[in-house]
Structure 1
Amino acid sequence: MTEKAYLQKIEEHKGIILKVVNLYADDFEDRKDLYQEIVLQSWSAYSRFEGKAKFSTWLYRISLNVALTFLSKRKKANQIKESTTLQEHIAFELAELSERADFLYRAIKQLAEIDRSIIMLHLDGFDNTEISEMMGLSKGNTTVKLHRIKQQLTTILTQK
């Protein structure tokens, strides 16, 4: 695939990257860096994309792996900064979220990293089988985790 065709695919599925970036990076610079890293890593890996899964599923997997690696590097370097609200960086294209979505994102950010991934995939319409395949979990484990995540979110969202 040519670079132009690849960039068109990325533009079509930009929402996937934005969701991952907004859930795994807290401030303006980190979101920008993570977005660029996801695009770069997905371009590097694209030659190995076999088309066995949908492009969106493949891009989710790449995005999540890059985000988790990004977090790991930040933690090791002790460079994690205090959370900032998305409203502080509203000028940045990646933070253009509605107030309700921002509230939900903040609640989701309080979850464990793996739980964030699972609920994000669920909210985007993936079924438990697809989520379990993407996350490398059994379907039963995914179902139980998803139920517990929903309970956690309910608790978080009703406390405010």
Structure 2
Amino acid sequence: MIEKSYLEKLEEHKGIIYKMVNLYADNDEDRKDLYQEIISQSWSAYPRFKGEAKFSTWLYKISLNVSLSFLSKQKKLTQIRDHDEFNSYFEPPELSERADWLYRCIKQLSEIDRGIIMLHLDGFTNTEISEMTGISRNSTNVKLHRIKQQLTTLLTGK
């Protein structure tokens, strides 16, 4: 029953994982490894999910932490056991040319800034972003302002 509940919620929010994977991994093999690691970590933590936060918020926090750990190691993670139910989820959607361009610009930001802007673009409040990243609300406000300036420069070339 727990597995079914987890898989249903995961199916509903798998876009969160795709975003993180596309932002923090540069090739297909690393994307698959990172995706599997996020699935593994979230599955392991799911029994402790109390519902005090939205599932999407909880999944973002896990995805961001796993992605940042992935980058800090700078090596491929060990493959987890194959789970047919989980592997079938990795069919990344095709990105439009504009979305692909936006992802390329966001990937030029620092690791933590990538996560912050994705949380912001997905509608999380600055307070929620602050709680998920462990950065003070004021610092989050300042960081978001600077990130938007950087992205404007990257996107417009000015």
Q: State the TM bucket, normalised to the shorter chain.
A: 0.7 to 0.9
Residue 159 (structure 1) shift: 1.7
Residue 139 (structure 1) shift: 1.1
SS of equivalent to 2:135: coil
* 1:31–1:94 CA contact under 8 A, matched in 2: no
Partner of 2:69: 69
Partner of 2:84: none
**Structure 1 CA distance, aligned partners of 2:120 and 2:58?**
16
**Structure 2 CA distance, aligned partners of 1:154 and 1:6?**
38
* 1:22–1:94 CA contact under 8 A, matched in 2: no
Partner of 1:134: 132
SS of equivalent to 1:11: helix
Q: Percent identity?
A: 77
**Structure 2 CA distance, aligned partners of 1:39 and 1:128?**
26
**Structure 2 CA distance, aligned partners of 1:93 and 1:6?**
18
Q: Deviations over 1:12-54 (max 9, x none)?
A: 1011111111111111111111111111110001111121111
**Structure 1 CA distance, aligned partners of 2:127 and 2:73?**
30
In the TM superposition, 1:29-48 aligns within 5 A as: 29-48=29-48
Unaligned runs of 5+ in 2: 77-89
CA RMSD of aligned residues (A): 1.8
Partner of 1:22: 22
**Structure 1 CA distance, aligned partners of 2:64 and 2:51?**
18
SS of equivalent to 1:97: coil
Partner of 1:109: 107
Unaligned runs of 5+ in 1: 79-91
**Structure 2 CA distance, aligned partners of 1:133 and 1:8?**
25
Q: Deviations over 1:29-80 (max 9, x none)?
A: 1111111111111000111112111110000000011111111112xx49xx
1:46 maps to amino acid: Y
1:47 maps to amino acid: P
**Structure 1 CA distance, aligned partners of 2:56 and 2:116?**
15
SS of equivalent to 2:109: coil
Residue 158 (structure 1) shift: 1.2
* 1:25–1:34 CA contact under 8 A, matched in 2: yes
User: What is the aligned residue count?
Assistant: 146
1:112 maps to amino acid: S
TM-score by length of 1: 0.86
Q: Given the alignment of the two structures, is residue 57 of structure 1 paired with residue 57 of structure 2, yes or no?
A: yes
**Structure 2 CA distance, aligned partners of 1:146 and 1:157?**
16
Residue 93 (structure 1) shift: 2.8
